[in-house]
Structure 1
Amino acid sequence: MKITDIKVIVCSPGRNFVTVKIMTDEGLYGVGDATLNGRELAVVAYLEEHVIPCLIGRDPHQIEDIWQYLYRGAYWRRGPVTMCAISGIDTALWDIKAKAAGMPLYQLLGGASRDKVLCYTHAQGTDIAECVDAVGAKLDQGFKAIRCQTGIPGLPNVYGTGKYAVTTNAADDAMPREEMWSTPKYLNYAPKLFEAVRNAHGEDVHLLHDTHHRLTPIEAARLGKALEPYNLFWLEDTVAAELQEGFRLIRQHTTTPLAVGEVFNTIWDARLLMEEQLIDYIRMTVVHAGGITPMRRVMDFASVYGVRTGCHGAMDMSPICLGANLHLDLWAPNFGIQEFSGYLPEILDVFPSAWTLNDGNLHPGEAHGHGVDIDEDLAAKYPYQRAYLPVNRLEDGTLWHW
């Protein structure tokens, strides 16, 4: 079998997505997600100008060699653009291999370790009362794990709340939106949210919270300690994780489980965190980590240190990424939970998927390959729209972590 052509398909059915489609001389094809939210066309150029010309005529079954060729062979390794591009290729190649084998991808990985994949969804409000009601609505839909985010008095709508709780490529997103942040106000208010949610909905629901990299290590330690009475499933992205050693300070002061990794690109970004057991869940995801090939290594490495998986699953990754994640989730012995923020109907139309959601659990399905495709004709009706992620400032104007 030989690779005959590779296409890069860019579409925007409410969000921008970059999809790689690899064709072969035996009629099989595979698709992969290569979306880098807010920098999509940088990945497109990397693929079209630097990657695709090197792969035509190669054997698509040589996945490991192709991955090493694209990673080591570039010399300039790592980084989000490079790893998203590699992921698009790698995921499409695994799709082809599983189709050629006549089995769903999870079987090719070694088979299922469980019958279903627990997922968590999002509930948010502009204030605590609204968030408490939103949690109740998600429980009524069958979800058993819910990420809770609330607005903060004295601040405009902050991350995960208000109009932009689920962002789209709206006209007012054509340039980066600026948000405002106050750590003192947040630290005083966040514990009140979880007290209210527990009082309203009891102890059985798994509660999660995302700080989105905004604290210092000692501030994160304070928050983790304050949230201990409410028994969180995890506290996510408390600090900007470039300084992995910063988690040592957090770990010294709180038993609240910690999760991090959605912006990580390689196992090296998380090595120390896992080796020293400074985190409980690794949040890396297929599209940003360079594909299925390296994610298997990350999951295996994590298992040695008792770290569980918790793959990032926001709407800015296409259903192809979610499908690939779910096959890994079903296989991984150290699986923890899968994020599922949901998709707009238009997105699901463009990306027909075999995965299913039932009573708060996901399953990748039994279709050969990873089970997600792209309708190219429909995708063409949703052309790319330039869009950015927001930026964040403190109340005095200092640029801060978003």
Structure 2
Amino acid sequence: MSAPASTAVPGRKPVGWRTPLIIVIAGCGVGLLAFGPRSALGFFLTPMSQENGWGRDVFGLALAIQNLLWGIGQPFAGALADRFGTIRVMAIGALLYAGGLALMAYSSTPLALDLTAGVMIGFGLAGSSFNLVIAAFGKLLPVEWRSLSFGAGTAAGSFGQFLFSPLAVGLNQAVGWQTTLIIFGAAMLMILPLSLALATPAAATQPVTAGAAEPQSLRQALVEALGHRSYVLLVLGFFTCGFQLAFITVHMPAYLVDRGLSAAVGGWTLAIIGLFNIVGSLASGWLGNRWPKRYLLAANYFSRAVAIAIFISLPASPAATLVFGAVMGLLWLSTVPPTSGLVLLMFGTRWFAMLSGFVFFSHQVGGFLGVLIGGIAFERTGSYDLVWWLAILFGVLSAVINLPIVEKPVARLAAARA
């Protein structure tokens, strides 16, 4: 498929039917659909494990593989989108995602689960998730739309979590977990038409604008970014975000049942997280235009550590759990707008998707370890306590890591703009 002729150029108003509002609405739709089912996969842990006689480590390993391959695939998906345009990558990703969910319903062995829930969904997410949406926003939208659109795209993913978590619980009870997975897979095909609004031009067709820096090759962009201290700090700090979020998403429902609460409380807790993250993400996008982004990130990570410490210290109750969900929701993906904004500020739009992908790779390494260590720790000790305390420690460390970040363009861009 080729990009529509009305492709926008950064700094110019889009022409034709793809107005900024249409682009944002379509991108939010993609974010909602892509983030919804994967955030609800924790509700399939118990029924699949019971039916197949697995320990929690089997399901945990498959989703850990998913998180890792999502991260590994993201820089490559971003590089392909930067070079050839977004729409091709997003279409392939959506098809892989849909197929992985549908085939997961028939995965009766650990290897089959690793291939469907792990490999197919992992690479599918790399090509269709909100990271590519945000990269498309950065390339297509005028400067004044960008920060808030980053928050809106992230918030849409959170609404997907709010929508799909109770939906998974309800459908599991009404039609069974296998049919639920097939329904979720079919829903992912809706990403295909929505992606038409997010088509970006191939690198060879992008015009050179006045004041632009000299064109970079992929290798030059990587060398520049990996040698930039602030970018490296940003990458390291984002590890914590993935560790905390993936562990909570996958293991929280089972953790709450272990503490005597119902599965419904787990479903509504993840839904509350998604609902409140809509507020948190939009607020983060708005604040990113007004406050230093490094301070927003440091405050977020430290606040998460405090919230987790208080939650695990309190007796288990639905009220305490839902309040924890609300607090974590405000902090959940509100790291994404300032993180994406910093990458865009430092390096510009040319290789934005790829460089954001490398930051996200760190996030998914954290997610891989959070899910994997969660399953192993429970099987070995019968408790998730070790992982909760690691989440607290990483939160404090990331708060410290983000403070020295310098918020300005690299010398190459600064000289060109001057």
Give TM-score scaled by structure 1 length. Answer: 0.24
Of Structure 1 and Structure 2, the greater helix share is in 2
Of Structure 1 and Structure 2, the greater strand share is in 1
Greater length-normalized contact order (CA 8 Å, ≥ 6 residues apart): 2
